[in-house]
Structure 1
């Protein structure tokens, strides 16, 4: 038993050392980011490890038909003439084609290829089943109506006010989201199931979540995935702002199911405010969609070169 435990420890430590050398982090300027994320920019660039990005998961947000698992519609946000479900699918299809054309040897897998909705759970399962190296979720943003008081008349010589809802179309530009630490336990469970189990074959049994080696490996995967999610989001934001001259609300963390359940670096891209007339026109135009796709591909290419340590 002692020899078996020792072999397992030595093997797991070797995996840990390999992990420590993966996913270099380069510092970039953030437009707007929570201070809790700033600890992501401290790694140094290691030697080449031979790691390659082979699969990118593209997740077009929402869908237009009832989910087979939930039975309800998930239309997403709407503008004056378009719906999020259609815009994200159109961008997703263009992004899949562009990735497979521009990035040699990389496969792009879609979580949704039709208007049919796909549950959050199934989207994460598709990502993990295909052993994705990056998860990009495509969405459109929107602001809720504002509640305002308006004068509707007078009574006994006094003004009468009524509270009404009015559209808020002030939102504009992109927003990048990475998973929030509130769902850390969920992220750890997915990492253990999809990453650590693959490194724990020496004992031939079920994974023990309380095993110190399992805890070490899980925490290291979690740390690296979080760092690289922020790094990828930064590269995306840089392209949208510096290349496309688009407004940006920066990078934020949010407790989103598909991000924390996808066991890989993951970013949700809010491509624009569909209830803003200018953004809606941009999001529905061929030029706008092509520009969004080109920026995402450039950011992924830069990220891929970093983690694979391709020198130019």
Structure 2
């Protein structure tokens, strides 16, 4: 008989640990090949509504991400007409993090792409050598020094009315919570990293963008996505030159085109397996 929640948590962790060990000794790192019949992509415009996200001197992340997401949607419908494109939001609306992943899970999406803007600690202050460039985040084990991006994105859950219920008391400082979330996404890690690498190549080689590469972070919006998933930090909105690029038609079109090119290559590689 389980006497307290601490014992229950230990049992859950032991069960997850055994599951991880057993699956590690099989060739089940990849989902079944049938899941690679690439049919549906979910495009998630980060933040929205009462959650503005990061900001620059004149713009908010929520508006930039929505503009880019809509351009990706239009390009996909034009260039990949056999692919179903689903948006988590199409207006300035706040969508809870678990709902975003739930949308993708309910339709058995093959790929989840969350679009965001980055921001460095100094805000809009003018300093030399300000951070710039793209960064691709996939869900995975992260070291202590890598938690800053995860904490910034995950902080959105505390805006939600029922966050304790929706995330079962999620606490980024609780190792037990992180073990549960990390185990959840192990099966799709390889595909997420593959797509992240493809995006990175497109941004660097076609758009000549500086990149911080593909990093693994404990981002909650990715942890709840039961499919390969990548969060794209499209640039530093608090950097004046980056903010101008992110808000321009040319910049947004270039970002959207790189995302769609990466999706085409990803589908080809996955379907060939």
2:42 corresponding residue in structure 1: 57
Distance in structure 2 (CA, Å) of the matches to 1:52 and 1:133: 8
Paired residue for 2:180?
185
Q: Which residue of 2 aligns with 1:176?
A: 136
Alignment equivalent of 2:115, drawn from 138, 154, 157 = 138
> Where in structure 2 are the equivalents of 1:189-228 lying within 5 Å?
222-223=186-187, 225-228=188-191
Structure 2 Cα separation of the partners of residues 297 and 265 of structure 1 = 16
Say if 1:19 and 1:176 are closer, same or farther in 2 by CA, change over 3 A. Answer: closer
* SS of 1:262 mapped into structure 2: coil
For the pair 1:277 / 2:254, whether they are aligned, the reply is no
Question: SS at 2:235's partner residue?
Answer: strand
> Which residue of structure 2 lines up, in the alignment, with residue 300 of structure 1?
263
Q: Distance in 2 between matches of 1:81 and 1:247?
A: 23
Which has more helix, going by share of residues?
2
Alignment check: 8 A CA contact 2:29 2:190 kept: no
Aligned residues: 213
Note the C-alpha offset of 1:104: 2.9
Q: Which residue of 1 aligns with 2:51?
A: 74
| CA 227–82 in structure 1, closer or farther in 2 if over 3 Å, else same | same
CA contact (8 A) 1:144 1:167 kept: no
Unaligned 5+ residue runs, structure 2? Answer: 1-25, 143-177
More strand by share: 1
The secondary structure found in structure 1 opposite 2:204 is helix
User: Looking at CA atoms only, which structure, 1 or 2, has the larger radius of gyration?
Assistant: 1
What CA deviation, in whole Å up to 9, does each residue of 1:210-261 have, x standing for no partner? xxxxxxxxxxxx33x1001000000000000011100001111110011111
- In the aligned structure 2, how far is the partner of 1:130 from the partner of 1:79? 35
How high is the TM-score relative to the length of structure 1?
A: 0.63
Q: 1:263, 1:241 → 2: CA distance?
A: 28
Contact 2:140 / 2:182 at 8 angstroms: preserved in 1?
Answer: no
Q: Give the drift of 1:173.
A: 0.6
CA RMSD in angstroms comes to 2.5
Q: Residues 128, 187 of structure 1: CA spacing in aligned structure 2 closer, same or farther, 3 A cutoff?
A: farther
Cα contact 1:178–1:253 (8 A) shared by 2: yes
- Could you list the per-position Cα deviations for residues 78-128 of structure 1 after superposition, in whole angstroms to 9, with x for gaps in the alignment? 111111010000001111111121113101111111101111111111111
